[in-house]
Amino acid sequence: MAVHTLFPPSSLKSSFHQTRPPLSRPSPHRVTVIHCIHRPDSVHFVNGVGYTRADWQSSCAILASKVLSHQQPTDHTSGDVSSGTDHVASVNGHKTAIDLSLVPIKKEATESTNNGKLQKPLTITDLSPAPMHGSQLRVAYQGVPGAYSEAAAGKAYPNCEAIPCDQFEVAFQAVELWIADRAVLPVENSLGGSIHRNYDLLLRHRLHIVGEVQLPVHHCLLALPGVRKEYITRVISHPQALAQCELTLTKMGLQAAREAVDDTAGAAEYIAANNLRDTAAIASARAAELYGLQILADGIQDDSSNVTRFVMLAREPIIPRTDRPFKTSIVFAHDKGTSVLFKVLSAFAFRNISLTKIESRPHRNRPIRLVDDANVGTAKHFEYMFYVDFEASMAEVRAQNALAEVQEFTSFLRVLGSYPMDMTPWCPSRGD
Ligand SMILES: O=C(O)C(=O)Cc1ccccc1
Q: Is the CB of 198 under 6 A from ligand 1?
A: no
| Cα(325) to centroid(ligand 1), Å | 26
| Core vs surface per residue 47-70: b (16+ CB within 10 A) or e | eebbbeeebbbbbbbbbbbbbeee
Q: Is the CB of 219 under 6 A from ligand 1?
A: no
Q: Is the CB of 186 under 6 A from ligand 1?
A: yes
Ligand 1 atom closest to the CA of 141, numbered from 1: 5
ipTM: 0.96
Please choose, from the candidates 326, 26, 1, the residue with its C-alpha nearest in 3D space to the C-alpha of residue 172: 26
Contact indicator for 147, 310 with CB cutoff of 8 Å: no
Q: Is the CB of 418 under 6 A from ligand 1?
A: no
Active-site residues: which are they? Answer: 308, 310
Amino acid identity, position 395: A
Q: Is the CB of 143 under 6 A from ligand 1?
A: yes
Ligand 1, atom 9: closest residue by C-alpha: 241
CA angle 144, 86, 181 (to 5 degrees): 25
Ligand 1 atom closest to the CA of 266, numbered from 1: 1
| Cα(115) to centroid(ligand 1), Å | 48
Q: Is the CB of 168 under 6 A from ligand 1?
A: no
d(CA 209, CA 192) in angstroms, rounded, equals 22
Please choose, from the candidates 393, 416, 403, 392, the residue with its C-alpha nearest in 3D space to the C-alpha of residue 344: 403
| Cα(238) to centroid(ligand 1), Å | 6
User: What is the pLDDT tens value at each position of the chain, 432 positions in all?
Assistant: 333 322 233 333 333 434 456 776 543 332 222 233 333 322 222 233 334 434 433 433 333 333 333 333 444 444 454 443 333 333 233 333 333 334 444 444 444 444 555 666 655 454 445 544 456 899 999 999 999 999 999 999 999 999 999 999 999 999 999 999 999 999 999 988 899 889 989 999 999 999 999 999 999 999 999 999 999 999 999 999 999 999 999 999 988 999 999 999 999 999 999 999 999 999 999 999 999 999 999 999 999 889 999 999 999 999 999 999 999 999 999 876 667 889 999 999 999 999 999 998 887 666 655 556 666 666 666 678 999 999 999 999 999 999 999 999 998 999 999 999 998 876 654 544
